[in-house]
Amino acid sequence: MSVIQSKINRHSESYRSNYEAMQQLVGELEKKKTEALFQGDEKYIARVKKSGRLLARERIELILDEDSPFMELLPFAGWGTDGFGTGGTIVVGIGFVSGKMCVINSNVGTIKGGAVDYATLQKGLRIGEIALENELPVINMVESAGANLPDQAKIFNYGGANFREITRRSQKKIPTISIVFGNSTAGGAYIPGMSDYVIMVKNEAKVFLAGPPLVKMATNEVTDEESLGGAKMHSTLSGVADYMAEDEKHALRLAREIMSYLKTKDTDYEEDDVKEPVYVSEEILGIVSADVRVPFDQRELIARIVDGSEFSEFKPLYGSTLITGYARINGYRIGIIANNGVLFSEAANKGAQFIQLCNQNDTPLLFLQNITGFMVGRKYEEEGIIKHGAKMINAVSNSTVPAITIITGASYGAGNYAMCGRAYKPRFLFTYPNSKIAVMGPDQLAGVMQIIGRAAAEKAGTAYDEEQGKQVAQYMVKEAEKQSNAWYASGQLWDDGVIDPRETRNYLKMCMDVIHRTEVKGAEGFGVFRM
């Protein structure tokens, strides 16, 4: 396997200007990360600290193994929406507890009592999907007022899936540990109720389907929170709690103890004889185009994320707008499919063949998306671009080896589908802060609408208002840009997080550890390829 020879000139004006532009975008990413770290107004945080209790992120930090990586996921869920703010009311990610890789889900009780808005629900469902696909045990740190009632119409019908998935994972011998730190009402009570192991903190945990006011209204019974759903009651009478912790730190130690004797598919994250890339990751900011309309060579990115910068390219002289080949990441074999331009028929056929080969030899796939779509025009339609593009989408659809997708630039049209976009269920999908995702680029969208407008006016026998058309086009460009940027996409949970391009290798190393917990097995067959 040969080392990629970089052709980047770090002293060129184009490199320096692009580096500065990407640096600004990364700076915006850091600001958004700060937003996602918000854990409630200062008065609520002060109240928690005064009582000697821990915040959501402090609980995560204490339960993780010393020096364990923690890959936070979906930190920007809910950004730009009318919910509870960036990140919702849970912090989720993957780390190591007692040497075991697991999903951690921590309620932020200092924001709206940990109530669940729509973005938080979707975030919880996604992390549950990741746990099931990769057979990861789950630790829930529970402190939740249940569904946010103004959102109940959007939450109720889908919220039950969170409880269903706990039991489905349990049926597959994927355990869930719930630690209850505070009030957990209604939906918040069902999380521990459905879990395999439940720890409740003495004098702090309160778990009930309905609190004292609702009980009084429904049954005229007068009771208090502790006797209705306290840790002692659930540990001695109801049996909902398996362990009663003296305080929060004791609860975290108990959870670590439980994890230590659970039978799981351990993943060792210690690096052993792994070659680092020849080139430094800092250079990625000068390579990946800040403006998605400016092309760049994805080989330069590959050279800075794979072991030893070594890459065995498959069919390098055919279908040149698609790069395919083999490499290793953290010692694991991987097949890489990367865009270097629009998809022509040759490139689509090459991609479909390579996906089949990776399934044949049980090799996971990494898709590096920077795609404006498939080539259009009479010549290409006559050559069968539809059926050739369909072959690649067919291959992506029926591929069963784990896939990871990173959007490094544009992700437009059916190119998103062929390159394993969200709808095609990659195990993980991350985006760069420069990325754009939409049916087509904003300028193309506005231009198409103007052409349609002129045609409609001509058909109706009326004059087309050019000035009005121009204003409408400008408005559409503005709206399309707003709804296609990385932050909007991440807020809608179209990705698992926007990442600093320089951190790509670190994310991939963690993801490769995760996906190899399950059997990597290729598809035994594909759908009919239209010839």
Is the domain of 199 the same as that of 55? yes
User: End of a domain among 261, 295, 325?
Assistant: 261
Give the pLDDT band of residue 268 (cuts 50, 70, 90). Answer: very low
Region 223-249 average pLDDT: 93
262 CB neighbour count, 10 Å cutoff: 16
Is the domain of 63 the same as that of 182? yes
pLDDT by residue (tens digit) across 127-180?
A: 999 999 999 999 999 999 888 888 888 888 888 899 999 999 999 999 999 999
- Tally of domains in the chain: 3
Distance of alpha carbon 191 from alpha carbon 161, whole angstroms: 11
Is the domain of 412 the same as that of 446? no
* Residue 1 confidence (pLDDT): 77
CATH number of the domain enclosing 7: 3.90.226.10
Is the domain of 161 the same as that of 255? yes
Domain enclosing residue 227, as ranges? 39-261
Region 188-213 average pLDDT: 91
199 within 8 A of 254, measured Cβ to Cβ: yes
Is residue 270 in a domain?
no
* Residue 209 confidence (pLDDT): 86
Distance of alpha carbon 10 from alpha carbon 220, whole angstroms: 75
**pLDDT above 50 (res 316):** yes
Distance of alpha carbon 431 from alpha carbon 498, whole angstroms: 5
34 CB neighbour count, 10 Å cutoff: 10
pLDDT by residue (tens digit) across 461-516?
A: 888 777 777 777 777 777 777 788 999 999 999 999 999 999 999 999 999 999 99
With b for 16 or more beta-carbon neighbours within 10 A and e for fewer, the 424-441 pattern comes to bebbbbbbbbbbbbbebb
Is the domain of 302 the same as that of 199? no
Burial class (CB in 10 A: 0-12, 13-18, 19+), 270: exposed
Distance of alpha carbon 100 from alpha carbon 263, whole angstroms: 9
Is residue 268 in a domain?
no
Is the domain of 49 the same as that of 175? yes
User: End of a domain among 210, 238, 261?
Assistant: 261
pLDDT by residue (tens digit) across 208-235?
A: 988 888 888 888 888 888 989 999 999 9
Is residue 267 in a domain?
no
Is the domain of 420 the same as that of 456? no
Is the domain of 330 the same as that of 476? no
